[in-house]
Amino acid sequence: MKYLKHLTGIYNLSVGQITDILDETSVQKKLLLSNESIENLKGKSVLNLFFENSTRTRLSFERAENLSGLNITNFNPENSSLAKGESIIDTIRNIDALKFDFIISRHPTPGFTNLLLNFTKSQIINAGDGTNEHPTQALLDMFTLREHFGNLKNKKVCIVGDISHSRVALSDIFALSKLKANISVCAPNVFIPRNISSLGVSVCNDINFAIKNNDALILLRVQLEREAGNSISSLNEYRKFFGINSERLKLNENIAILHPGPFNKNVELDEDILDLDNLFIFEQVTNGLAVKLALFKLMLGS
Ligand code: CP
């Protein structure tokens, strides 16, 4: 594949680079599931620089780092000298002085990875920057859809929920668009950015129509920590008009359902659908591990 030094977002990736990552993810998933050995990247170092909470992204990176034999350092902002007033730029300058090969970064500020690019010489992977991008989530979502459908060209995919506050939505839209899927969003108007049509996305406000007329739904969490809960009248109301449940799924029993997690149970989706075969939430987490193994191999490996 064309050399990939940093992964800051899907926006900057070519179709060929996305396809190469998904193809390598397929190889890594097979190795993972058959307990075959993963390429050892011994001697390379990685810093996990997480300023926001995370379960799936952080654990899957750490697991991939362990499986790849990387030398791992974890940064905890709460017990760092940031708490003594050291600035973020000076913190990054000190991190640069420690000469990590790789920095995996999650931060609430959109564009934070650009600070890392400006002030360090490490290779950077964006593990989520505010409401901007979450490229590894989009890659695992594309892998999950491609594994299920074979090809995303002309597949109808609807992103449901809090588009405005979601970095996953933007990365998924960039990726789906590059892979030539047919993209729509379905949400209350307060959750839909006004310029969404400029991204080649159509809008629907009727979840029953979205279920009937799509091949896949990507559900998004109502992001209470980003004040999304204040812009809708109540979570119960959201569930009533946009929640996915077994009754609604009778409209299209084969539709594939994804959610990046964590989900608000009985808000975006009801508990009674968690065991459905066409719900990929936990498969997505395994696929996320394979994506990280693929990225380490392609960005650091031989
Ligand atoms: N999907 C995702 O990014 O989950 P975490 O916040 O738990 O990492």
CA 164 to ligand 1 centroid distance, Å: 17
| 108 CB near ligand 1 (under 6 Å) | no
User: Exposed/middle/buried for 97, CB within 10 Å: 0-12, 13-18, 19+?
Assistant: exposed
Which atom of ligand 1 is nearest the CA belonging to 288?
1
CA 52 to ligand 1 centroid distance, Å: 10
Is the distance from CB of 262 to CB of 221 less than 8 angstroms?
A: yes
Please name the residue whose Cα sits nearest to atom 3 of ligand 1: 57
Q: Which of 48, 52, 55 to mutate to test the pocket of ligand 1 (most atoms within 8 A of CB)?
A: 55
Q: What does the angle CA 117 – CA 295 – CA 180 come to, to the nearest 5 degrees?
A: 95
CA 61 to ligand 1 centroid distance, Å: 11
Name the CA radius of gyration of the chain, rounded. Answer: 19
What ranges make up the beta strands (E) of 119-170? Answer: 123-129, 156-160
Please name the residue whose Cα sits nearest to atom 1 of ligand 1: 260
CA 170 to ligand 1 centroid distance, Å: 15
Is cis: bond before 262, omega within 30 of 0?
A: yes
CA 132 to ligand 1 centroid distance, Å: 14
Instruction: Report pLDDT digits (tens) over 159-186.
Output: 999 999 899 999 999 999 999 999 999 9
Q: How far apart are CA 127 and CA 145, in angstroms?
A: 20
| 44 CB near ligand 1 (under 6 Å) | no
Cα end-to-end span (Å), the chain: 12
Please name the residue whose Cα sits nearest to atom 6 of ligand 1: 54
CA 176 to ligand 1 centroid distance, Å: 20
What ranges make up the beta strands (E) of the chain? Answer: 45-50, 71-75, 102-107, 123-129, 156-160, 182-186, 202-204, 216-219, 256-258
| 57 CB near ligand 1 (under 6 Å) | yes
| Domains along the sequence of the chain with CATH | 15-132+285-301 (3.40.50.1370), 135-280 (3.40.50.1370)
| 56 CB near ligand 1 (under 6 Å) | yes
Predicted TM-score (pTM) of the model is 0.96
Please list, in sequence order, all residues whose beta carbon lies within 8 angstroms of the beta carbon of residue 114, skipping any fewer than 6 positions away. 8
**What pLDDT shows up at residue 210?**
98
Q: Where are the alpha helices (DSSP H) in 179-262?
A: 207-212, 235-242, 246-249
| 261 CB near ligand 1 (under 6 Å) | yes
The CB-side HSE value for 61 (13 A sphere, CA atoms) comes to: 26
Query: Tokens for 139?
Result: 């890659």
Strands 256-258 and 216-219: parallel
Task: Report the interhelical angle of 15-33 vs 135-149 (nearest 10°).
Answer: 70
| 48 CB near ligand 1 (under 6 Å) | no
**What pLDDT shows up at residue 102?**
97
What ranges make up the beta strands (E) of 115-272? Answer: 123-129, 156-160, 182-186, 202-204, 216-219, 256-258
**What pLDDT shows up at residue 3?**
79
| 193 CB near ligand 1 (under 6 Å) | no
Q: What does the pLDDT profile of the chain (302 residues) look like in tens digits? A: 557 999 999 999 999 999 999 999 999 999 999 988 888 888 999 999 999 999 999 999 999 999 999 999 999 999 999 999 999 999 999 999 999 999 999 999 999 999 999 999 999 999 999 999 999 999 999 999 999 999 999 999 999 999 998 999 999 999 999 999 999 999 999 999 999 999 999 999 999 999 999 999 999 998 765 565 566 778 899 999 999 999 999 999 999 999 999 999 999 999 999 999 999 999 999 999 999 999 999 998 65
